[in-house]
Structures are given as structure tokens and as C-alpha cells.
A and B are shown apart, each in its own frame.
Chain A
């Protein structure tokens, strides 16, 4: 059972890599080096700030785009191309397929982020010429970004299990945007009345809450991160991803594959 999940995961990873997804790293590298060099020349005392802000934002955005664009096709493309039929004619459970796809996509993103992280630190070294202890916070920010990816992957997979690629992309992207303002949504819910209040509160808890994961600006100012927050975010990401994946499994197990 575990072996099959691992095989599906590694196959997903291989497909993504061969599909030249890692070429995005080139675009990323170009962007970051350009910015680092430009900022180094302008030298307005905020080079480090810019590199950290720009670098981490780019890691986040590139990753979200990849997560959505690969994720939405994970199931629907396989159905469309009928590769799924030959897979499911083997002793593979449907849920193993979903879980394997998730790990494959997540793995792709982790590898991608790893290379990007090297790029960020390289750019940072270029503008600062040294590393300080506070730069370790960048690793925490990157870790939170990876947790965000896990959530987005699980959502993309959820939508892919029942919806067309285009709609899945729209839903996943919308949830990403709403999730970034989810904290405000909960605030709005507090101010509403009656049934609206219940509906909005429900929505605010259902959408992914990314507010706690966005520490880019604060770590750029070298504000420390509480260990409790790290634990909290890890648990939240795991539970949320589990929720979305359970939904995907539930849908996929009961879906007629016409």
C-alpha cells in the first residue's frame, strides 16, 4: 500500500520535472539576480530589505502558480488522456492514487523551493557580503511558504478530482487570494448579524487562513518568530491539507469515470 503511493508520487514528480517545470527556476534566477545587481548599484540602505522581500515574494508567487497549474491537471488530465484507466485496472486503490499525486506534487515544490532558497541566499550574500544570525529567519519564512504550498496543492488536487482544469485553476487561485485576507473575513463575520454572520464565519473557517504564514515583512525587519507560531502553522497546514485531501478522496472514490 505504501509502496504503491510512493511509486505514484515518484512518477508524478518525474512527469513534472520532465514537463520542464523546473525551467521556472531560470526565470526566477534571472529576476532575482537582476534585482540584486540593480539594488546593489542604487544602494539606498535597503538592499537587504529589498532582496528579502522580493526574493521571498517571488518564491511564494512562483510556487503558487506551479502548484496550481500542475495540481489542477493532476487528476483531470489523467482522465482526459485515459492514463488513469490503466492505472486503476491494477490493484491500486483510488485513494492511494490521490495521496500519491499529492506527495509527488508537494515533493516537486519542495525541490523547487530548495533551489530557489539557494538563489535567495546567494543574492543576499551579494548585497550584504556577509550573513548574520537574523538571516536564519529567512529559513523560517521559507518553511512557512512551503507549508502554504502544501495547502494549495491539496486544494488544487481537490478541485482537480471533480472539475475541469480551467475551473479548478480559478477556484484554487480565488481561494489563495481569499485565504490571504481570511483574517479580515473573520473580522467582518464578527461585525455581521444573523444568518450572514453564521455563513461568513463558516466561510472564514473553511478557507485556508494564510495570514499567520505571511511573515515576510516582519522577518525583513528582523522581528523574531515565536516557536509556538512555527508549531501552530505546521499543525494547521497538516490538518488543512488532510481536510482537502479527504475531500478529494471522498469525491474521487465515488466518481464515475466516464
Chain B
């Protein structure tokens, strides 16, 4: 059973002083997220990522369409007990401490009273907020607030978590920690659906991604598939300070960096290249297929949409 099935969710706002002009924030979206995967929802700012999340959370009502979360209608309140949500740039009750905040959320999530204290402590430890007893949330740094936000999302051991821009505002160490946490969640069998505009994070984490732009879905698939080698080229790296003649003969495009040379050659030339290096007794460092980066795929998808005839948003 897919964890999330989005069945044509659409959202059009009426803007303007008399609320007459329609503005489409999300065109009818069809998307499926499988159980136990980390799914990345990518798009530039204003693409409709947050709108989609808010629709799924029931914060905003769709113009049409529906969704199923964990097999149930997305409006079913029982679903909420099994999901966690981290909104973008969360902010919390100023005057509570982290413990009180999480305790409050645990109460609202229906965690039994006996369990609450233990869960809260464990979750805080997990997100790296162990020593914050008695400190009110208004004194938290941005990174700490983000961790608190993640804590409240996973506190009640949900099967599915939604993160909206989880890395925003974090320093590299923080981002690494969040990435590790998300990996851990996957190990525990949970499904993670997160939105971001930072592609490197998606590349590192996601099993599958979807790309959305101006409210429309531009592409869905596993990263490997999306960035599979379309050019049929390989990159060969070897230890040397100069390019041997045999390599030059292959018509390779070579770059020398310190004592390493990188060259791009055709796939069918790779055997010849390896032979050439062996003859010259040069040490092969790496031989990797050239993949389109996710970024290139991303940009290409966006550009194609821009120039596509008849497509107006």
C-alpha cells in the first residue's frame, strides 16, 4: 500500500480586492509515495511545495481532488495520529521550555501519560537537545528551534513524516545531523516526505524525487533513473602530471589538476583507454559513468516548461 496517494489535488486562490482573479497555486497533482522510502519534493521557491503539504495536512482545503494517506482519506482525523509534520521555519510558544512544549504535543497526540516523560526525554536526546532544561524557547537559536521542530514531528513515533524545508537555516553540521536522522527514520521503516529547493540534499538522501514548478509536476522518478547516463560518456581519472600521447589519440578532453588527470571519453573507448594507461604504467584512480547531475536535470525540466508552447500559468 502506498504511504501517500495524491489524487488530483488542486488549489486555486481568488486574489484581488474583490477576490475575483483566480490564481492557480497547484494544478491537479497526481503522485504516489511508496511505503518506507525517502521521497524528495523539489522545486524553486513558490513552486507549490508548501501548498501541497498544507493541503495534505488539512490546513488548506483543495479546490478539487483528494488524497489518501496510509490508506485512509486525508481528512480522517485518525490519520493524524500516525503522521508528523515539520512546517517551514517553525516557531513555537515563546514561554515554554522544550520539555513543556513536547509534553504538550505528546498530550495532544494522545501519548499515554505514563509514557510521555520518557518519550520526550528520548526524542530530545535524539535530536541533540539534551541539555536545555528550563530554557524557554524564545531563547533558542534557529538551529535549536529546527531540532525542536523535528522532535515534535517524530515524538509520537509516526509512520510517516512530512518535513517542509528541514535544512533551512542550519549550518553544515546541523544539516548533516538532520540527514543522518532522516536516514535513521528510514532504517526504522518510516516513510519520509520532504520538500526542499536544495538539490544536493535530495541527491544524498532520496530514493525518489518529484520536481514541481509553478504548481505543475515536471518529473517524477528514482534519482538514478532521472540522472542516468544519457550521453554514454565515462570519466577516467589517473595519476600523472601529463597526458600520454595514446590518450590524446583517443580525442579525449583532458584536465590536469596537481598530479591527477581527468578525461572524458566515450563509453566504447573505455577499454582502449584502460589498455593505454596499463601500457604507460600509469595508475588508474577512477572510471565512472558521467551522469547528468540532478541540477542539470532540474534546470532542463524548468526551462523546457518555460518555453513550452501554450503553457501559461
Q: Do chains A and B touch in the complex (CB under 8 A)?
A: yes
For residue B65, CB closer than 8 A to chain A, the reply is no
* 69-106 of chain B: CB within 8 A of chain A: 77-78, 80-81, 83-96, 100, 104-105
CB neighbours (8 Å) of A90 from chain B are: 80-81, 105, 108-109, 156
Output the least CB separation between B77 and chain A (Å): 5
Assembly CA distance A93 to B61 (angstroms)? 15
For residue A24, CB closer than 8 A to chain B, the reply is no
Pick the most buried of A14, A86, A88, A257: most chain B CB atoms within 10 A of its CB: A86
Output the least CB separation between A83 and chain B (Å): 6
For residue A195, CB closer than 8 A to chain B, the reply is no
Other-chain residue from A3, A81, A89 in contact with B85 (beta carbon distance below 8 A): A89
Output the least CB separation between A46 and chain B (Å): 43
CB neighbours (8 Å) of B107 from chain A are: 3-4, 7
Q: In the complex, identify which listed stretch (B52-60, B126-134, B268-276, B286-294) lies at the interface while the others stay far away.
A: B52-60
Beyond A3-B107, A81-B91, A82-B91, whether A89 also contacts B149 by CB under 8 A is no
| Closest residue on chain A to residue B91 by CB atoms | A81
B110 touches A86 (CB 8 A): no
Beyond A19-B95, A83-B92, whether A89 also contacts B57 by CB under 8 A is yes
**B contact patch SS:** mixed
CB neighbours (8 Å) of A89 from chain B are: 57, 80, 83-85, 162
For residue A31, CB closer than 8 A to chain B, the reply is no
For residue A87, CB closer than 8 A to chain B, the reply is yes
B152 touches A86 (CB 8 A): yes
A91 touches B93 (CB 8 A): no
Q: Chain B, 249-281, contact with A by CB distance < 8 Å: what is the 0/1 string?
A: 000000000000000000000000000000000
Assembly CA distance A160 to B54 (angstroms)? 21
For residue A250, CB closer than 8 A to chain B, the reply is no
CB neighbours (8 Å) of B90 from chain A are: 82-83, 85-86
* 228-258 of chain A: CB within 8 A of chain B: 254, 256-258
Other-chain residue from A8, A18, A88 in contact with B59 (beta carbon distance below 8 A): A88
Residue pairs across A and B with Cβ atoms less than 8 A apart, 27 shown, are A7-B107, A7-B108, A11-B93, A14-B95, A14-B100, A19-B95, A81-B91, A81-B92, A82-B89, A83-B91, A83-B92, A86-B90, A86-B105, A87-B105, A88-B58, A88-B59, A89-B57, A89-B80, A89-B84, A89-B85, A90-B80, A90-B108, A91-B78, A91-B81, A91-B108, A256-B59, A256-B61
Give chain A's interface residues, CB within 8 Å of chain B: 3-4, 7-8, 11, 14-15, 18-19, 81-83, 85-93, 254, 256-258
